[in-house]
Amino acid sequence: MADVLALVEARLRTALGEPDARAAVTFLGTDRIEVLRFSDQASGGIVRYATLGMAAQPMADPTAVLADPLRGPRAELVLSVRAGLADTDKVLRPLAVLAASPQVEGVVVAPGASLDVGEPLWPGAPFTSVLVAEPGGLVDDLDLEEPLDPVQFLPLLPMTPNEAAHKRVHGAAELQERWLNHGTDVRDPLRSSVRLD
């Protein structure tokens, strides 16, 4: 069976180009997680951070007695922000923490979920959590050999604490619709919270 992470990295390079930086983080009792940075000046100064390592193992249902070593959802995380407005490179460790959460906490990361790191995503960031968005827009799913599930590349949308509280009450779709209606640039690393009244 082909190395899943080699295929994942190849898919990321095809979709986003060559990474211009990478960092590795290892947490006690988990596999190594890398975070790759892709700077694309052609896309209006957007920098993208993608995890590499989360998809090595399928995410297991925390209520299952035994985890299936082959079957189960696989994913990597992708965060896109405007370059040059904040020191967003400090997001590498928080992203690695989120990518390790299926191994550490037994959670299944899926679209519509909220993930909280408990601290600013980067210095001065008004965000401590992210909304997991639907895959397929930026990086296509990666099909693997049977019986393995495909790898999804899940976009992360930073949320302010007020937005995260609003999402818990009203749901992910309502928050995303509010962002859309107010013309919120969710890639702005310094943006304020959308109006919630």
Integer Cα distance of 154 and 156 in angstroms = 6
What pTM value is reported for the model? 0.92
Name which residue leads in pLDDT, 50 or 32: 50
Which are the contacts of 144, defined by CB distance < 8 A and separation ≥ 6?
2, 4, 7, 74, 150, 151
Integer Cα distance of 193 and 57 in angstroms = 35
Query: pLDDT (tens digit, 9 = 90+) per residue, 40-58?
Result: 765 568 999 999 999 998 9
Average pLDDT score over the chain: 90
- Where residue 99 falls (left for φ over 0; alpha for ψ -120 to 50; beta otherwise) is alpha
Domain ranges (residues) in the chain: 4-181
pLDDT for residue 1 is more than 50: no
pLDDT for residue 125 is more than 50: yes
pLDDT for residue 196 is more than 90: no
Integer Cα distance of 30 and 18 in angstroms = 27
Which are the contacts of 180, defined by CB distance < 8 A and separation ≥ 6?
none
Integer Cα distance of 111 and 27 in angstroms = 25
Cis peptide before 147 (omega within 30 of 0): yes
pLDDT recorded at residue 65: 66
Q: What percentage of the chain has pLDDT greater than the value 90?
A: 71
What's phi and psi for 154, nearest 5 deg?
A: -95, 120
Name which residue leads in pLDDT, 9 or 106: 9
Query: pLDDT (tens digit, 9 = 90+) per residue, 75-103?
Result: 999 999 998 888 999 999 999 999 998 88
What's phi and psi for 107, nearest 5 deg?
A: -95, 155
Q: Which region among 103-107, 108-112, 113-117, 184-188 has the lowest average model confidence (pLDDT)? A: 103-107
